[in-house]
Amino acid sequence: MNIQAKFKTDHCYSEYFLAVKFYRMSDFLHHFEKIKVKDQAIANYLEEIGIEKWSCANFSAIRYNIMTGNNAESFNNTSRDARKYPITTLAEFLRYTLQTWFFKRRTLAMESNKPLPTKIEKKLEDRIEAAKTLIVQPLSHYEFYVMDGDRDGQVTLQTKTCSCRRFDLTSLPCMHALAATLSRGINPYSLCSWYYTVDEWLYSYAETIYPVGNEEEWAVPDDISRRMVEPPPYKPKAGRPKTKRTKSKGEKIIMQRHFEIPSKRYRNFDCKSKHSRNTIEKIYDRRHDEISSSSVNDAMVLGSSEKETKERVGERERNEEFKGARGIFSLRY
């Protein structure tokens, strides 16, 4: 979904971004009404594709902190250069990439000495500090009304819900829920989903990815080794193979600008001005004719024989040609 590419405008971007991020239904409706006022066509488009697909407030299941589904896009970008090589090289690259990811993340999980990963711990600590300033009004053993000075929240610890809906959708306690736990002396970690724990993080990358090894050492069953697998019929297309996917409808296509390289110029050191090659050749031809005529006239005036005149003229022309070529055809960019 790319509103800017489809409607050629971004004047609803701020309202759309706020409508996406807010968890309360009242906040979502407030900003979505602003979108309708600014551009009804954009509002109709957002309703047609399904509000529950892009709005946190209208999402019914647990979303955690995931707002996009671009995992395939990210992985394609990682393997963009490797796709230029044969399929076996690409497969080895993917195997090595996953092997590296699994090892690094497994190591980070094993080195952690807290119940939650570092980023989640930092987020929880910030919310606990904010929760210490809130006013908690107990309603029952599990229900609390928490006043934050702006948009109060009603918390139910038994069902792990809050009227702000942040706790409901992320499964990580909001500041209202944390204020209630602090007032009752409950461990805040008990309200966090198992999804965020370091143990689950370690379990996700517990498996080890091994290299395939030398082909000569593979233990292949006889029934498989006897099979002859031919490559599929394929007719190579003209030109270079594609390395980038075809853009979907509505996606912005970035056009690459190609700048023209200015043509090289040759510098004439005699006249200190720039000429093209054709101009230099014309100048050279004109000077060659002038040199030849002047040489003949000088020789005839001195009374030399015709043979001597030709020899002198030829030697003089060769000297002038060498000097002229060295000066005229020297390159200067």
pLDDT digits 0-9 by tens, 167-201:
988 889 999 999 999 999 999 999 999 989 999 99
Please provide the average confidence, as pLDDT, over all residues in the chain.
Answer: 77
Q: What local confidence, expressed as pLDDT, does residue 327 receive?
A: 47
What pLDDT was estimated at residue 332? 38
pLDDT in tens, 252-266: 666 655 544 444 444
Half-sphere exposure of 327 (CA within 13 A, CB side): 15
- Whether the CA torsion 309, 315, 318, 319 is positive or negative: it is negative
Give phi and psi for 239, each to the nearest 5.
Answer: 90, -175
**Domains of the chain by residue range:** 3-53, 61-67+76-211, 266-328
Q: Is the pLDDT of residue 48 over 90?
A: no
Point out which residues pair with 147 in neighbouring strands.
135
Q: Does an H or E element contain 156, and which? A: strand 153-156
Residue pLDDT, tens place only, 2-16: 676 677 777 777 888
Work out whether the CA dihedral 82, 85, 87, 92 comes out positive or negative: negative
What is the band of 86 on the pLDDT scale with cuts at 50, 70, 90?
A: confident
Under the banding of pLDDT at 50, 70 and 90, the label for residue 218 is: confident
Q: CA-CA distance, 119 to 125, in Å (whole number)?
A: 10
pLDDT at 102: 94
Q: How far is CA 106 from CA 74, 195, 204, 205, in A?
A: 21, 16, 8, 6
Q: What pLDDT is attached to residue 318? A: 57
Residue-level pLDDT at 25? 87
Q: Are 166 and 26 in contact (CB under 8 A)?
A: no
Whose tokens are 């020899």? That residue is 311
Q: Mean per-residue pLDDT for 137-154?
A: 90
State residue 301's pLDDT score.
45
Burial class (CB within 10 angstroms; exposed 0-12, middle 13-18, buried 19+) of 247: exposed
Q: What is the pLDDT of residues 95-142, one digit of tens each?
A: 999 999 999 999 999 999 999 999 999 999 999 999 999 999 999 989
pLDDT score of 22 more than 80: yes
Q: What long-range pairs does 92-95 form, CB within 8 A, spacing at least 24? A: 92/212, 95/209, 95/211, 95/212
In the beta sheet, which residues pair with residue 143?
Answer: 156
Residue-wise DSSP of 176-198: HHHHHHHHHT--GGGGS-GGGSH
Closest by Cα among 27, 28, 34 to 11? 34
Higher pLDDT, 60 or 279: 60
**Per-residue pLDDT for 147 more than 50?**
yes
Q: Quote the pTM value.
A: 0.60
State the pLDDT at residue 9.
72
DSSP output for 64-91: TT-----HHHHHHHHTTTGGGS-HHHHH
